[in-house]
Amino acid sequence: MQEYVLEMKGVCKSFPGVKALDQVELHLRPGTVHALMGENGAGKSTLMKCLFGVYKMDEGEIIYNGEHVKIENPFDALQKGIAMVHQELQPIPERSIAENIYCGRYPETKILGLIRTVNHKKMYEQTDALLKGLGLNYDAKAKLGSLSVSQMQLVEIAKAVSANAKIVIMDEPTSSLTRNEVEVLFSIINRLKEQGCSIIYISHKMEEILQISDEVTIMRDGRYIGTWPSKELTTDMIITKMVGRELTNLFPKRENVPGEVILKVEDFTSIHPKSFRNVSFELRKGEILGVSGLVGAQRTELMEGIFGLRASERGTITYLGKKLHITRPKVAIENGIALLTEDRRGSGIFGVLSVSDNISVASLQQYLLFRVMLNDRKIANLVQENVKKLSIKTPSIKTQIQSLSGGNQQKVIISRWLANDPDVLIMDEPTRGIDVGAKYEIYCIIAELAKQGKSIIMISSEMPELIGMADRIMVMCDGRVTGFVDGKDMNQEIIMELATRFAS
């Protein structure tokens, strides 16, 4: 038997504007759990997508079972025995659990030896057996959409298991799991190991990594840093290697001074029973309020509700002493509230439009000549000013925004909102998918805005980021606010405890 079941060497991959992977390697031993670590944007997911055939590598080789292989697409990867549990789920909620698990490889029978049909009976039986074997008590015929996000994630893992894979890639499998569910996952992982299966495990959670993994590979800024046995590592060592500099330099110094309360939300409740409910909080002038919670805690939904993108059933928003009825984003914007959305591609950028159009689109009414015609020179000034102020790296202001890197795209969207001079800036995962250097720049922008007296609500799934940036952190779980922490209490354990308050 070879020493390694899988080796990736010299892997390079570029996207327009970013070199995502630069000479990365990975050495995976059979029957082990191999943790892949690095900050967001370090290139872990990209590397795995290359392995799974989602992306084509620009350079590099994959040696699998001692042979050089080329993986054309995810189907090819599955055929070769490589399965992946995606970070972002790609479920079909309207179909049954069984159909989701066997999607693309349904058990078949042939009518008259000719016409291929799906053998539903076999599919449901196999699914029931599979779920039972993994200790998951779900009905194979239930719609996938009837499960919670964490349950869906376990189904996704069951899907990978069912493929009889030699290698299972798990990309942040525990990001939305409760503690009990993590235990279920770990028992599944141990069972897979016993069967000789290797697992590549991507996670940010240090304790988990040290508990479950045998080896750790660390990446930083798209480069390979090294591989170590987990036994030889400590949390601090991992962080130092991941970040590549002392932790103290990660966040800029904040000089903001929170003042009087300017926004007060009381008993804010969604029209959907499973979404946010009974949410009350206050935001001060010049304050950075962090919002923490697991995936599915309804943080994004809450903010979209406040911004008028989602309907609320009851509750009040008091802003600068007067009650607001925000029925659509325009009302929020007119009152000086801005929302930087979580999904930059989906609801942030206008990909085919220029940097200039992307910056000016929300404030065009301020640049009118004779009430109908746009004042192009004023708009150009606004854009140039922002490009300079936020040091947006773009060849020209006419460049399509989609050719910029994630960090620069984010700065463009921040500029869009600043053009309206808002008092409250809600930022939903402002540093997601942005490389480390650019992250620091975003932090600096946030700190500077708060210093200027703007109030910031910052949602983040990265706890160190919240602890480093926020004056106070509001923690949510299952649509409800479970607590506020500040000062000395701002540590991962207390936040985690609040974030899993209602977890089963």
Output the smallest distance, CB 379 to other proteins, in A: 10
CA distance 488 to 493: 12
φ, ψ at 176 (rounded to 5°)? -120, 15
Output the smallest distance, CB 112 to other proteins, in A: 37
Q: Which is nearer to other proteins, 118 or 374 (CB)?
A: 374
Output the smallest distance, CB 477 to other proteins, in A: 26
- Return the SS3 of 154: helix
Strand order across the beta sheet in which 167-171 lies: 67-69, 59-64, 6-15, 18-28, 223-229, 215-220, 33-37, 198-202, 167-171, 82-85
Q: Which is nearer to other proteins, 112 or 373 (CB)?
A: 373
Output the smallest distance, CB 78 to other proteins, in A: 18
Q: Which is nearer to other proteins, 254 or 416 (CB)?
A: 416
Output the smallest distance, CB 476 to other proteins, in A: 21
Q: How far is Cα of residue 182 from the mean position of the Cα atoms in its chain?
A: 19
Output the smallest distance, CB 309 to other proteins, in A: 7
* Closest CA relative to residue 414, chosen from 396, 398, 426, 402: 426
Q: Which is nearer to other proteins, 87 or 399 (CB)?
A: 399
Bridge partners for 288 per DSSP: 456
CA distance 493 to 383: 43
CA distance 416 to 396: 17
Q: Which is nearer to other proteins, 55 or 186 (CB)?
A: 55
Q: Which is nearer to other proteins, 55 or 440 (CB)?
A: 55
Please give the residue ranges that form the binding site for other proteins (CB under 8 A). Answer: 16-17, 54-56, 307, 309, 328-330, 332-334, 339, 341, 346-353, 357, 360-362, 364-365, 368, 372-374, 376, 395, 399, 403-404, 416
Question: What distances in angstroms separate CA 260 from CA 267, 280, 471, 472, 474, one per listed residue?
Answer: 21, 17, 14, 15, 18
Output the smallest distance, CB 353 to other proteins, in A: 5
Q: Which is nearer to other proteins, 231 or 330 (CB)?
A: 330
CA distance 53 to 446: 37
Angle made by CA atoms 64, 66, 71, in degrees to the nearest 5: 25
Which amino acid makes up residue 57? M
Q: Which is nearer to other proteins, 256 or 363 (CB)?
A: 363
Output the smallest distance, CB 364 to other proteins, in A: 4
Whether 87 contacts 171, CB under 8 Å: yes
Question: What distances in angstroms separate CA 47 from CA 50, 58, 224, 438, 485, one per listed residue?
Answer: 5, 12, 11, 21, 36
